[in-house]
A = this chain, B = another copy of it.
Amino acid sequence: MAGHSPAPGRSGGENRRHRGTQTGDRSAVTTPLGDDKQKNVDGRATRGARDFDRNHRDILNAAIELIGEDVPRSLTVAAVAERSGFSPMTVYKHFPGGRAEMVGIIRNQVLASGAQKYMQQAPTLSGEEHPRAFLFAMVDEFLSNKNLVIHSLSMSIELADKNAWISDPIGLAWHSIEMAEKTIELPATVAELATLMATFFRGALYAWCNRFLSDEEFKRLAVQSFDVAIAAAEAGHHA
């Protein structure tokens, strides 16, 4: 898969791939004070923190690589350790929750990346354009990270099955409906509409991940989720 989402919210600038020069990078940790900007104890602490951040990103990128492969290998701590070149203990130091924590972070990055696309348009939108733009942004993000989404969804349900906690991302849908409510009258509370919208969206997502729907059918259904929620809420009112 070509384009992994960059980690949104992570410090930019240094966002290059380090895997190629990884051994060189890491040797810097043991080379005493090679960098002229960091000659004192504080500098050492700063560099340590920077190395920690970089290793953290390298490990996460290895996990993203694994989860994004066409024939996915199971995203285990051992596999991430092997791919990133770090020891399993280092992987656990960075991600104490192991597999569940990494899957959760990667899934949240895709969600955040979709939400960000919507947020960029948000100032120009009003009323129901908000949830609709939100849905289009999410669907686009999912379609352009297809393997990653399908694999992380498959893993998240497997993890939920094993009682690993992954948060419900319904808050993102909620926000776009709150924005709509600022300029139009809605037929139900934001909470009710968010539940209805998320339920329909998830059904399309789940069917797509199970290969019951093509990419096109997934898109066609998923972007209707807000309209379905409104229709259901209105019908409920009249009943």
- A224-B192 Cα distance, complex, nearest whole Å: 13
What's the dominant secondary structure at chain A's contact region? helix
Q: State which of B162, B199, B209, B212 has its C-beta within 8 Å of the C-beta of A170.
A: B212
The answer to whether A151 touches B157, judged by C-beta atoms less than 8 angstroms apart, is no
For this chain, the copies found in one complex come to 2
Q: How far is the CB of A67 from chain B (nearest CB, A)?
A: 11
A195 interface residue (CB < 8 Å to B): yes
Q: State which of B157, B196, B201, B204 has its C-beta within 8 Å of the C-beta of A157.
A: B157
The chain B residue sitting closest to A196, CB to CB, is B228
The answer to whether A199 touches B204, judged by C-beta atoms less than 8 angstroms apart, is yes
A166 interface residue (CB < 8 Å to B): yes
Stretch among A19-27, A113-121, A230-238 lining the B interface: A230-238
- A201-B158 Cα distance, complex, nearest whole Å: 20
Q: How far is the CB of A66 from chain B (nearest CB, A)?
A: 13
Counting from the closest, the 5 A-B pairs by CB-CB distance are: A203-B203, A231-B235, A202-B203, A199-B203, A231-B231
Which B residues are in CB contact (< 8 Å) with A154?
A: 157-158, 160-161
Interface residues of A in 43-58 (CB under 8 A from B): none
A156 interface residue (CB < 8 Å to B): yes
Which B residues are in CB contact (< 8 Å) with A160?
A: 154, 209-211
Interface-centre pick from A162, A205, A211 (highest chain B CB count, 10 A): A211
The answer to whether A161 touches B151, judged by C-beta atoms less than 8 angstroms apart, is yes
